[in-house]
Structure 1
Amino acid sequence: MWGIGRIKAAFKHCAAAIGRLPAAFWFGVCALLVCALAYITGAAFAVVAALALMGGVGLAAGLRRLRPAGISATDGPPAGTARLEELADRMWEMQESEQRFYGLLEALGDLVVHRDRDGRILYANRVFAELVECEPRELVGKTLTQFGVDIGVVPDSAFSEGESLSSTDVAIHARGGLRWFSWTELSRRDHDSGTVSHWAIARDITARKRAETALVNARERAEQASLAKSRFLATVSHEIRTPMNGIMGMATLLADTRLSAEQRTYVSAVSTSASALLALIEDLLDYSKIEAGRLALEPQQVSIRELVESIVELMASRAFGKDIGLGCHIAPDVPETITADPGRLRQILLNLLGNAVKFTEEGGVLVTVTTAAVGGKPALAIRVDDTGPGLDEAAVARIFNEFEQADGSSTRRHGGAGLGLAITSRLVEAMEGSIAVDSAPGEGAAFTVCLPVGETTPAEHALALKGWTVAIITPHAVEGEALAMTVRAHGGKAEIFDGETSAVALLRRRNTGFDAVIIDAALEDEKAGLLSRLRRKGLRMKLALTLIAPTDRGRLASFRANGYGVFLARPARGRTLLRLLLNEGPRTDDSQAVEVRPARRSGPARAADTALRVLIAEDNEINAMLARVALTRAGHRVTLVTTGRAAVDALARPARDHDIVLMDLHMPVMDGLDAIANIRRYEEETGLAPIPILVLSADGQEKTRHGVLAHGANGFVTKPLDPDRLLAALETHAVV
């Protein structure tokens, strides 16, 4: 197919050939025409003959002059005519080729524009003409800018044959609105004339642009929603932390007073429950951090025994309220301490144990902690078994997804958002561990978490119960198994009896007897206890213990009357059981259901000359009282204000009466950040030394910490307030 350049060359060749014809040729043509006219009009024959002769001579002379064009005199009339016909055919072929070429450009569907080096349009297809609402012939000689199309200016020196000059997206205002085109410019240099022209082809990408815009808008909306969610969670967290600060703080102050052992247990339970609720609040923030990829671990040395047993005790009230057993066994070879994030590990255990208790209606829940190896490195295996309804394969496949539950129907018995296991899985992954579930419908479930332990402190393991035989009588098989595992792990033998119905089997051992018998308090009645009956029937035992729940404390006198001298609180701690068994004798004091901390003292009161003058800006009465009491007990002098404006008024004067400031962030009239800014501005204007300011806030996010420090604060104290941490912060920042 011929190009436009070749078609133009053919036309030029034909024009040159016609131009080379001599005047005699044209004279002959004219004579023949006159002859034909004379003949038609009836002229004389002589005249017609003369004119015909003159025309023939002229044509012959003209054809002889065509020899340089390639027609020889010897060719004769037939050969010259053939060459002329061939030339005409080739011209028609070029015309058809050009028509097909432009036909294709019209049918292409994309915009096609041909421009000269000055940008004037030489050709534009009908697609472009319809877009700018003009006829194609009206476009010739005009520029693209006249139609609102701006593709930029490219210098002529950049053009070369076949070079792609640019490819960009161009917006064109059309009748139907703004339309986008992917515009590609090509250069073309003519070989004969050397002139440069531009060919452009543009494809409509309006739909793609709209989709991209929709995606950008959707992403921006998602980011705004994420920020709104984070702000909401931070606000809710602050609002919940404020009363939690009062609960935990008052419990701490109450623990510093004179309390009986039972009262101290209750106070400890309040503190533990409040701490658990605070941990659940942290779950909301953690989920937000996990989604945003901002979850940070804080590994440190932690006692795994204390952590696991305290969480099991925390969940005991829920388990006992459902009349199910709850047991815990920690293998003797488990290290005393491991390197891990205690807060995250606590969350994992709370979620797994909470789910197990929640879905178990009969039987019980058993927590076992053993050592393991992952990739040749030491690890910790925490397994939570329950006797709940179990999970089918479909539920197991999706149980760790967000907002998923084993039973998602509207008739499900158990509520919840379905976030606990999802958060647990993310936390385990962040700690470079693994989590798995083994379950089947009707057979309960077993969740196993393997975590690398980092640096450890090995535990002392001795077979202290070697040679011992222990009988465990309880209706809660799970708790009985946990006690038996502890006895066996320390070298002893243990047999489990499921209740009074097994007394007959137990009495068969009356001749050999037992070193210790552990009886669940649920099997004892007020008048005739199981222990008394077993002894009367001759069962020998060196030591008798009873398992008591927190609700059994009022029955301790009757238990003593029935022959018990040692009480073991449910759920039993392994080391507590070991200590009581090795004691080998009745105890005169009560074993507490919950291990409690000794009374906390905030340290000795400071001397009057070293006491700090502390200004507390806090609008919450309970939080203010907590801080005031903690500081007053430590010997400091405290002044209390309830607004940021009052704090500024107290400090924006040359004669200051305070050494350090505790500033709440959220207060009426003026908040903490504005108050700090005003105080620092006054100090700069007057040259007064900056007073140390510690910010009190329930929002413990790093963003908040950095923000208050950037506003001029010296430190940050997170609520709920811990008296010891508060006093330590004061000692660190105060200047006396």
Structure 2
Amino acid sequence: MRDQSISIAQRISGPFKWFVALAFFVVFLIVFLGYSFFQALSENQLESRNEFLAKQVEFASRDIQKTFRSMDQDMVFFVENLEAWTYERTSNEQLAFEKRARRIFNNHRNLVDSIIVVFPNHVLSFHFDKGNNFVRTFHSGLEEIPLNHGNEIRFKSQKNNLQIITKVNTNRFLSSELSNFYLGASAEKLVYIDGKLLGFSEMNLSPGFILDDLSLEKITNDIREGIKGEYEGEFNNSLTGKNYRAVIHQYPFDFHPFDKDFAVIFIQDKKLITSGIYVTYISLFSGLLLLLIFVIAILFQFNRNTQVANKILSQKADEINELFRRQTFLLQESKGFIYFQDAKGEMTSVGKEVEGVLGYQQKEFIKNFKDKISPNYIQELNLLIDESIKNLKEVIAFEFEIQKKNGDWIRVKIFEKLLYDEKGAFLGNVGILTDIQEKYLAEQELIKSENRLRAVLKSLPDIIFIYNNSGIFLDYYIQDQSVLFSPAPESLGKSILEVLPTPLNTHFMGFFEKTVQTGKIQTAEFEIMTKLGKKMFETRLFKLDDDRVMSIARDITGQKLWEKGLKDAIKAADQANKAKSEFLANMSHEIRTPLNGLLGIIGLFENTPLTKDQKDFIQIIKDSGDSLSKIINDILDYSKIEAGMMELKMSVFHFKDEIQKIIKVFSGLSIKKDIELTYQYEGLIPTFIELDKEKIDQILYNLIGNALKFTPQGGKIHVLITGEPFLESNIILHFDIKDSGIGIPKDKLQILARPFVQVDGSNTREFTGTGLGLAISKNFIELMGGELKVDSEENVGSTFSFNILGKIFTKESLIISVKSFAGNTPDLDWKNMAAKYPLKILLVEDNAINLQFMQMLMNQLGYDIEIAKDGYEAIEKVEKSPLDLIFMDIQMPRLNGLKATQIIRKKAGGEAFKIVGLSANAFQEDIAEALASGMNEYLTKPVKIPEIAKVIQSCFFELKKTKGVI
């Protein structure tokens, strides 16, 4: 290797002088050819620049025309989809319409200045102000909108005679579009508009560009004909004072419906196109000289460095030897060796690794290698070699068994490269023999494992088929073929569509194709008629490998029968639950009816002269009645929740005012028990929120009430409310009610929110109640998208936490409308109201106690009322004399209050008075049904005296307003 390196150095130093002469010749040649080469390059540079300008001006024109047509198509689609009633129906149509208008602005911001939409009864305009705010404006008519008829495009709807006027800013649009094309500092970008040239700058289009008359005439003629063009002419930029010979490229475009000629024109100074070539040539020439000097210097140093190069070559030779050593090591690790054979099949050479693989010496193996091959493979191996030589194959591979020197037989694999001369005559081969005994044993074990798997599949009771990816049956494993349409062997080689009956075959084939496409397991259920009767099968299809799919079908007839029985049981349970809810509703009605009379009479009794003891007794009876009413309400609420009938009644209200009102309710009790009750806000708490106010009130009443109940005297209760806005107008409200009460044992926390469950369930417990408050609160919280959490420690206190989702309202118009709901009614003094609020009142009631209560109440109020005991009598009273107000019971014999109300409303003058429903039915659907029948309001028994008085007052003011008195 070292001698070879020295020889290379000598061959290089021989022609050294010729390289020097060649270098001087190249210098002379560069000078000689420089001028002619420069001329050719200048022409090529000019031609290349012309091609570039032609393409750029075409791209610019097409982009401008495409963008303008896109705007035109969007506006046509917009006007054709307008409806005349857009601003006369719901806000959803208005919102969708304005979103479409804003989308057009966003898509064509540089072109569209404003959009004017002309409806039959409205004129609207849309534009973006200086603060980039999307502004909608209503106008009394088109006359108040300034129009410049040179920049408006009118779009009319063919189907509903609506019109859209679009104001466009062509200068801004063209400026924006042309800014996307960079032509270099020496080029000008112009726009041709009906014989005028406007020059492009970063902000607008400015005049001041002049072409010679001949060039301008050619350009004008081509643009009118719609032909692109390339020209040379004199160009003057009056803004900069420049006047030069220029190359000009123009491409016309269409601005329909504007009836003008438009084109984009790119102009560049012809001299500046080639001016850079001079500098380039000087640099190139200098570079070549320096390069030649550098090469000559390297050649002079070459001989001096020859010895160093020889040393490096020697080192490389050592590296090559190391590489061969590593290759040998790799063969040893892979248990293989290389061998060479001649055309007669005799071995001419073998690697020394043969001793490590088979134990033979190299010469020993070369001489007797054929005797070591197992006789079972000799004939097959010779046949393979002969066939390969005959067919001029270049490589062959074969596995067989060979005997090692110690007598063991092992599995080996040979890979041979067959060598031929130019005429195709066999010259010999080179091959690699590898010991694959371990791999062979592993493959045999895999085959045994697969056979065991087949045995398992054959023993399964399921119906198993294997298909190719086209749905052709390949194999099966079935114990009982009586459930098949045809014998399994007859299915092999056929497709699913051929074997299965219609329409099952197409249905099953759909699942099969989905399995092949997605590679995911597909499950399907089929009902088929077999020889044993109707059967239900569950079939799973999955990819067995890249080329096969397996289906496993199982008879699930018994399972389906069991599921049907389970569904029937669930249906029976639902019916029982419904019966329970109906029972609770009926019981509520039966309890509320006498309770209404009881609490009503007590309310009247309070206003009579009483001793102190009598007032105390009355208060005890009243508190007991209110407690009974609350228990009934809790039971009804929970029955609604169980029946899935509880719904959210969303309303917008002043959130902090409502919280303050709730806290005030408990202030008296907290002072009485010497408990410090505080509340605090954190985060962003909006003024107005949309929630179910009644349910959030009930939740807080339950939780704060429980905290007061279980907190001893001198304790503390703190209510923390935090707000976290998300997704613009939504908010998550988080509540923490923390007390220093008796706490809850950890083993009771899991059952705390269960219905009818209390922590202390003994008959000696200190705190009483139904055990429904937390259960109802938990369900209300979950209905509003939240979760109730309890953290408690005995004798330390408890923290009840929950979060709910709400909606923020901040618009001034909405705030005003919400405030108006509260109204400003004068203070109500219900004693002897008849003098102040004279009304003709009819009471429709069949229950004797409630009738007596209402008569006594009306007497105290100062009213002499008429009475009807069912719906028919109420109708007769209405027909005989005019009325102002009817209190209508719902459940009555002969004709109930709902049907009576419907009949009264249909009669002449039936809308002139107010009908207020009175019922013990407190479900929301009962209230909705009453209002739908024609009733104006609905009061739930037990009715309180202030409620009756408030209804009378409201009716009086409404009648006065109707008659024009107020």
Instruction: Pick 1 or 2: higher relative contact order, CA cutoff 8 A, min separation 6.
Output: 1
What TM-score bracket applies, with the shorter chain setting the length? 0.3 to 0.5
TM-score (norm 1): 0.47
- The structure with the largest strand share of the pair is 2
